[in-house]
Amino acid sequence: MIKKETIDTILQTARIEEVISDFVSLKRRGANLLGLCPFHNEKTPSFTVSPSKGIYKCFGCGAAGNSVNFVMDHEHLTYPEALKYLAKKYQIEIEETYDKPGIEEQHAQNEKESLFVVSSYAAKWFSDQLWNTDEGRSIALGYFRERGFTDDSIKKFELGFNPDGWDVFVQAAFKDGYKEEYLIKSGLCIKNDKGKLFDRFAGRVIFPVHNLSGRVIAFGGRTLKTDKKVAKYINSPETDIYHKSNVLYGMYFAKKAISREDNCYLVEGYTDVISLHQAGIENVVASSGTSLTTEQIKQIKRYTQHITILYDGDAAGIKASFRGIDMILEQGLSVKVLLFPNGDDPDSFARRHSAEEIKAFVKANAKDFIRFKTSLLFEETKEDPIKKAELVKDIVQSISLIADGITRSVYIRECAVLLNMDEQALLNELNRIRRNALKKNTNDVQTIENQTADLIVPLEQPREEILSDIYVEREVIRVLINYSHSPKKLEVEGEDGEKQIIETTVGAYLLHCLEEDGIIFQDKVCNQILEIYKEHLEKDQLPNESVFIHHTDENIRKFVIDLLANPYQLSDWSRHRISVNTEQNDLDRLVNGVLYSMKIRRIMQLIAENQQKLKEVKDDAMLEELLKEQKQLQIIKSQLSLMNGGRIVLK
């Protein structure tokens, strides 16, 4: 277990904007930061981060929390794992106690963490073999240096070496206490039919694969043999911590540069990424030889809306990648394509040029994908009408995926010129494709509506009354959360009959009034929060918002964060000498308003209870008493309504 003092240190040290910006590109919007939500697919940013409050909230999907919650949800970690992640980021030492002995049990509390642990061990062991063994230095290190990699680059990407042999790594891992189960599950080792365990990456130089938080999750291994029967590259299999369709090689090292440059260079292999980094181009990632996936595109989209694909000039390879590029367009990103001169690829070109030369070359030669595709394929089909017709449909299909209507129109016009075709014919085809897609989407929506219609359950009381109850209680809690520590002046009558002004806080005043009127909240979470305030007030203190933001009860935490988060911000009109009235400026009215609403609600509950008694009473004396009480309640209700500006919350 992690000590409470250490947890408090982690929570106080972790800056939410620093934690989230490791995964999401955030832009300043007033006092808050805004970005694309990493938890659902969106084109318009609705993911808001409040540095002052230490919270995030997506107004699209509802995801909300603090820095620990974000790490837990984004990286799929447990609470202790998320704390360890933040402790590592901020170099906070953690002392733990363990119930069970053993390597895995000491470093992990579940199987997934065990895979992280054994992968981290393997990466360090491979690196040690590279730098500190004769075979590693002479063969593997020699290979890397021959490729032009500097020692700094080798260390940065944690490159390594698995010596040749049947089970060199296996034996080392066993000796250091690691279990066979996790060596196999991590993909580092393979068990044959005879039950013999052997190294997956024997005789290969190693390229560790990192997740977005920098933890090693997989490996790529390149053979140093010239035997054509031996696969040049092999990669880790799918595991509980490595899903190749979700991972881009180098993203951990590139994400900040991608956000800064507002562009992502996409290449094919490990060496392309490393060479470009070494040349000073850091906003680059690789698909590692696999077909581009929607998940990978969404990952890039968190940091930029622009992708430039760097090719080695192989036309066949470019055509094979067209489907992946269409997927990029479908996700709303812009795509450019760059072809290197014949005989060059990103790796070789980067080794011979500086960062400035590479950037200048990209700027001068990168072409918009739609124009590139049109010009490339048109040359092959201009003499064949049938193939040209197929080309036109293919290109218009790509254009149809672009979300922005103006951009689509511009591309249609340019393609009409390039293809020497009537613009209206292309527009007709575009509209046909989009109509079919819209029809399909509409059908899907209708199906969802039909499926959810049966889930509507009748309520025991009118919906308006329930919503009003929730609103009133929620509003009281919102005022407490935001303004409980604000000063409140009260006019009271002293013992000598003279009026005096005393100072208290909004929180103490609200709690006193609610207690005096015997008001109890109906909503469970609101009542729990109210009780927390009462417990603190008994100790002559009021809780601050961090008590709730970091509360162990998820319902309380989410409820309060939802109250604190606001998608709108008031502009600073003071610079234009325009006075704007805010809640803070009119706090007395706000506090009195929520109190009157609660009182009215309580009076109306009493009126309803009295009406029920009137229906059931048979004794004349009791009837007269109830009628008097009912009249008095109606008078109080009217008075409170007038005090609240003539507004009654409940009907």
pLDDT tens figures, 606-642 = 788 878 878 887 777 787 787 887 787 777 767 666 6
CB 216 within 8 A of CB 241: no
User: Is 83 in the same domain as 152?
Assistant: no
Lowest mean pLDDT segment, chosen from 126-135, 261-270, 551-560, 611-620: 611-620
- Report pLDDT for 641: 63
- Of 275, 256, 276, whose CA–CA distance to 265 is shortest? 276
User: Is 150 in the same domain as 69?
Assistant: no
Q: What pTM, to 2 d.p., does this model score?
A: 0.64
- Report pLDDT for 206: 97
- Report pLDDT for 497: 67
User: Is 495 in the same domain as 540?
Assistant: yes
User: Is 142 in the same domain as 166?
Assistant: yes
Coil/strand/helix, residue 520: coil
Domain's final residue, options 182, 216, 242: 242
Residue range of the domain that includes 59: 4-89
Burial of 258 (0-12, 13-18, 19+ CB in 10 A): buried
Over residues 365-391, mean pLDDT: 79
Please state the domain count of the chain. Answer: 3
The answer to whether residue 535 sits within a structural domain is yes
Over residues 164-171, mean pLDDT: 92
Domain's final residue, options 89, 112, 138: 89
Domain's final residue, options 187, 211, 242: 242
Higher pLDDT, residue 604 or 446: 604
Q: Which residue has the tokens 């490990």?
A: 270
User: Is 163 in the same domain as 226?
Assistant: yes
User: Is 221 in the same domain as 114?
Assistant: yes
Q: Which residue has the tokens 């609660």?
A: 598
pLDDT tens figures, 594-608 = 777 777 777 777 788
User: Is 60 in the same domain as 136?
Assistant: no
User: Is 121 in the same domain as 16?
Assistant: no
User: Is 180 in the same domain as 60?
Assistant: no
The answer to whether residue 21 sits within a structural domain is yes
The answer to whether residue 148 sits within a structural domain is yes
- Report pLDDT for 275: 93
Instruction: Kindly provide the residue ranges of all beta strands, DSSP E only, lying in 340-410, ordered along the sequence.
Output: 367-368
Q: Give the span between the Cα atoms of 125 and 199, in whole angstroms.
A: 13
The answer to whether residue 143 sits within a structural domain is yes
User: Is 494 in the same domain as 584?
Assistant: yes
User: Is 119 in the same domain as 177?
Assistant: yes
| Token reading at 42 | 């969106």
Q: Give the span between the Cα atoms of 530 and 231, in whole angstroms.
A: 65
Lowest mean pLDDT segment, chosen from 78-82, 395-399, 469-473: 469-473
The answer to whether residue 124 sits within a structural domain is yes
Over residues 102-108, mean pLDDT: 46
Over residues 235-260, mean pLDDT: 91
The answer to whether residue 487 sits within a structural domain is yes
| Token reading at 430 | 């575009």
The answer to whether residue 138 sits within a structural domain is yes
Instruction: Using DSSP bridges, classify how beta strands 284-286 and 264-267 pair: parallel, antiparallel or unpaired.
Output: parallel
User: Is 485 in the same domain as 585?
Assistant: yes
